[in-house]
A and B are shown apart, each in its own frame.
Chain A
């Protein structure tokens, strides 16, 4: 049982480049989330989805876009990367917002 898988695990981007982070879950969860975590801080919600085909903004959505075309996948896109987007990105999934959220291993992104 793989749980939540994020790819890639590490990435270095130049300012202005674009990229997509992929999150896949095999638990048939409805809810999926993208968070960013900066050094010494908690998790800040970027975007989330409560089901296939739906997305919603979180606390810090600017500069990011998401898509949930299939229930098991949640994609996070950076159209034009900025140094302020250097962070560790975590994807999570859960049955609903009240039950346990399962997290991926994280993607460490550096924008230079």
Chain B
């Protein structure tokens, strides 16, 4: 059982559409990170959120950390084929041994 649950597991959309990926937990996290992974590569950090209610924007990507620091979302506006990949959320918390644990991932496919 993973502490972080991601939904949906798979998302297939057309170029130009918007999408949202969710990362939920019943536990409070000190911080949450979002990574993107491409085939044959290791994950690469997109953003870190640390404050409840925080919103960060990275070009067409918007990241939000829930007020209670138990959940986060990633929204992509006008998706492009280059956004295709596996999106992973990861979190750490002092009560959980300060280790970085990952959600199950959301595989996103953006069709041209």
Contact = CB atoms under 8 A, between A and B. Distances in A.
Nearest to A108: B40
Given A92-B42, A98-B30, A100-B45, A43 B98 contact: no
Interface stretch (A12-20, A33-41, A69-77, A78-86): A33-41
Given A90-B42, A97-B92, A103-B43, A33 B103 contact: no
B16 to A, nearest CB: 26
Interface in B72-112: 88, 90, 92, 97-105, 107
Given A98-B30, A103-B43, A104-B42, A42 B99 contact: no
Interface of A: 4, 31, 33, 35, 40-45, 48, 50, 56, 58-59, 90, 92, 94, 96-101, 103-106
Interface of B: 2, 6, 30-31, 33, 40-45, 48, 50, 88, 90, 92, 97-105, 107
